[in-house]
Amino acid sequence: MDNQHSESLRRMDRREVLRWIGGAAAAAAAASRLPVGEAQTSARIGRQTGAPGPGGARIGSDPILNKNYSPGDLWPLTLDAARRRAAAALCDLILPPEPGDKRPSELGVPDFIDEWISSPYDETSKDRPVIVDGLAWIDAESGRRFGGKAFADLAEAQQCAIADDICGKKSVKTEFKTAQRFFERFRWLAASGYYTTPQGWKDIGYVGNVPTIEFAGPTPEALRHLGLI
């Protein structure tokens, strides 16, 4: 998936997004008042609010499994253009491409993050304010430090100056603690989005998902590495 494709994904306009967030909050509040017997859920996945996604969509219990999905197929994406630019720039800073590889923003990674925070599940929707506010913060911080520029328009060294303050590599000042939480969650999402793509597989050292006649087992080099031969 490249940028061009990314532009064609199904999105929600700002007014609809606001309406959806309001509706989801109301549904969550209503669900929390359900009696025990009605709110029957699995201990494994925790109690869910059942708040609907934008357009009321969820994955559903019987989706077509052997179809290739893109972000936006099941529910519209909700990040606005400015946040998408910031997300793309941050993905590319966190996961710089190896020589000859594409940037994460060219592989649809920001769209995955958008899909995630636009989705109706408890595990995902709790990330929505963290990511949306964090992306707004990073643009505001860029503007404050570097003459009104957006994060995506900064030179790499300028982007790093901000990232270094919030990434946790060195001790993070109190004023940046919220930004640090955003950065850590964003990095988890960006890496999850990236390493699940075929380029990410190659990058991380995953060479499976190919049919073979026999399972060859460990190579002699691997066995030597572990002192097994």
Binding to other proteins in span 53-72, by CB under 8 A: 58-66, 68-69
Output the smallest distance, CB 41 to other proteins, in A: 6
In the range 122-151, which residues lie near other proteins by CB under 8 A? Answer: 123-124
- If binding is defined by CB under 8 A, does position 157 make contact with other proteins? no
Check if the beta carbon of residue 12 is closer than 8 Å to that of residue 84: no
Nearest to other proteins of 15, 41 (CB atom): 41
- Helices 81-94 and 156-166: crossing angle in degrees, nearest 10, is 80
Count of Cβ atoms closer than 10 Å to residue 160 Cβ: 13
Output the smallest distance, CB 15 to other proteins, in A: 25
Q: What is the maximal distance between C-alpha atoms in the chain?
A: 65
Output the smallest distance, CB 178 to other proteins, in A: 16
DSSP class of residue 5 equals H
Count of Cβ atoms closer than 10 Å to residue 108 Cβ: 24
Nearest to other proteins of 4, 209 (CB atom): 209
Which of 10, 28, 48, 80 contacts other proteins by CB under 8 A? 48
- If binding is defined by CB under 8 A, does position 112 make contact with other proteins? yes
Nearest to other proteins of 14, 126 (CB atom): 126
Output the smallest distance, CB 29 to other proteins, in A: 18
Number of residues that bind other proteins (CB under 8 A): 79
- If binding is defined by CB under 8 A, does position 162 make contact with other proteins? no
Per DSSP, helices labelled H in the chain are: 3-7, 14-31, 81-94, 109-117, 122-125, 127-145, 156-166, 177-195, 198-204, 220-225
Check if the beta carbon of residue 79 is closer than 8 Å to that of residue 114: yes
Which of 52, 82, 153, 195 contacts other proteins by CB under 8 A? 195
